Chain A
Amino acid sequence: MRISLFVLLLLAVALPASAGDVHGKVVCKGARDCADAVVYLSAPPGKTFPAPKEHAKIDQKNLMFTPHVLPVLVGATVDFLNSDTVLHNVFTPDACADKFNLGTWPQGESKSYTFKKECSAVLLCKVHPEMEAYVVALPTPHFAAAQADGTYRIADVPDGSYTAKVWHPKLKTSGKPVTVSGATEANFEIAK
């Protein structure tokens, strides 16, 4: 009996809980494509995730922010690197990111900001008004940036019930309940 219980416990530890990919396609009506869309799953009640140790990065190169949209887990620190020969600045007018203004810095240097709460923050450079990007700080690590054709894949999502949402800088956020059980398909349509 003791041995059987031990084997069962061992199996419970060794075998991971069931998980699968959430995948599908987003249709972005009124946008040129879906390259800026982010699909993410809400956190189960009471569930929190530790802040990632590794910093995310946005590069300022050729007078553009790269990537244009960066999804991160809440608590993530984003490094803003200047790869251009001109001075760059990064600021946001959004209160959820403390309306940060990181100053101005030259090529090869970077400045950082930690996104402490859920937020979609527009990033701007006051020296180059044509530059724009977004950081979307999300409650779970279960997110994916969509491809231009709208396809997306969120890997390793534990089975369970979630609300899946799609964020886009120019379109209305949309969401729906999704029950994940192994590989799960969820499609969306978002519009202005």
Chain B
Amino acid sequence: MFANDVTSPRIAIVAAFLFGSGTARPAVAVPQDASSLRASQSQSPHVTGVEGPSNFHRLSLPIESSAMGRTGLLGPPPGSRAASSPEPSYSESIVGSATLTGADLYRLSCRSCHREDGSGAPPEINGLLGPVQATSAALMEHRMKERGRPITAAFARELAAGSMKDLIHRLKVGGQKMPSFAYLSDREAEALIGYLNQLAGLPVARREQTVTESAARVGELLVKGTCHICHDATGRWPTPEELLQGVVPPIARFTAERTMPEIVRKVRHGAPVEMGLVPFPYRGRMPVFDYLRDEEVVSAYLYLMTYPPRNASTLPAPPN
């Protein structure tokens, strides 16, 4: 599935942006047309556009009531020195293949809710260390021995196997609040679980598992795993008054309403938002995702241009 409305001029803007700065940059492969983007993701899992309501809307939760997707820092207040963020820079190819580690997959898919260390935001967002530790038969056996109630290796394996089944089920199906990550391939899930083991202090494989991904897939992982927690896939851009009321802009309009540098700055460093009946610059509600890389956000931008979000508008018509 590939969007037909991606046009060369649009990609040319990307190229101009990538090469527009006077600062020296490494060579970056830039797509000349949509087919090159399509070709570049042939090694990756099948890429699809993001669709449907945000996780917040799925749960009928107001954004203020939850830490989901927002366990990071808030952006700088308007007018502060920090508000003038550095120009985005790119150190890797954003169109050729990228090698992602389990830690990278965690950043793109888990960290905005579960924090850097996996502790989450209890009691709303559970820590993931306990469920991951329960997948280790050796640890279960050790714990029971310490408790003075030794168990057989076979029983420990049975307990651990059940925990691994639970963990994979949680990842693929989701939970009461957690969205499904069914779009992760088996290899991606394996690499991610390898990193979860590391976070949980379990013995890890000597050789770290990695996955080779297209830029489009990297962008897809970021959009679906992080942006879509708070942002609906589709809808119209809210008015400044609606923004003040808590309406979150839809992903589908990002590329039309904001340039790539604007999006990169907003995501990685924060940027003021004009809100209110009489628009006035505010810090806004969106956290800063300083742990993402410029090229990952650029990949997300390109992904959105190439695979536009789907679904009808979830916002009511603007007031007259």
Contacts and interface: CB of A to CB of B under 8 A. Distances in A.
Q: Which of B143, B151, B159 has the most CB of A within 10 A?
A: B159
Q: Which of B134, B155, B158 has the most CB of A within 10 A?
A: B134
Given A87-B126, A126-B163, A106 B155 contact: no
Interface SS, B side: helix
B131 A93 contact: no
Nearest to B140: A126
Interface residues of B, number: 21
Nearest to A84: B123
Given A126-B134, A126-B159, A126-B163, A86 B126 contact: yes
Interface residues of A, number: 18
Interface stretch (A3-11, A42-50, A97-105, A149-157): A97-105
Given A87-B166, A126-B159, A106 B130 contact: no
A106 B176 contact: yes
Given A85-B124, A99-B155, A104 B162 contact: yes
Interface in A102-131: 103-104, 106-107, 122, 126-129
Contact of B123 (A85, A89, A93, A101): A85
Interface string B111-131: 000000000001110100011
A101 B162 CA distance: 9
A87 B134 CA distance: 12
A93 B143 contact: no
A174 B140 CA distance: 32
A127 B162 CA distance: 11
Contact of A101 (B130, B131, B143, B159): B159
A91 interface: yes
B86 interface: no
A59 to B, nearest CB: 16
Contacts of B176: 85, 106-107
Given A93-B149, A93-B155, A107-B176, A87 B144 contact: no
B134 to A, nearest CB: 4
A90 to B, nearest CB: 11
Contacts of B144: 93
B137 to A, nearest CB: 11
B139 to A, nearest CB: 9
Given A103-B162, A107-B176, A89 B134 contact: yes
Contact of B131 (A84, A87, A103): A87
18 contacts: A84-B123, A85-B124, A85-B176, A87-B170, A89-B163, A99-B155, A101-B159, A101-B162, A103-B162, A103-B166, A104-B166, A122-B149, A126-B159, A126-B163, A127-B130, A127-B131, A127-B134, A127-B163
Per CB-CB distance, the 8 closest pairs between chain A and chain B, nearest first, are A126-B134, A127-B130, A104-B166, A86-B126, A93-B151, A85-B123, A127-B134, A129-B143
Interface of B: 122-124, 126, 130-131, 134, 140, 143-144, 149, 151, 155, 158-159, 162-163, 166, 170, 175-176
Given A86-B122, A91-B159, A101-B162, 8 more contacts: A84-B123, A89-B134, A93-B144, A93-B155, A101-B159, A103-B162, A126-B134, A127-B131
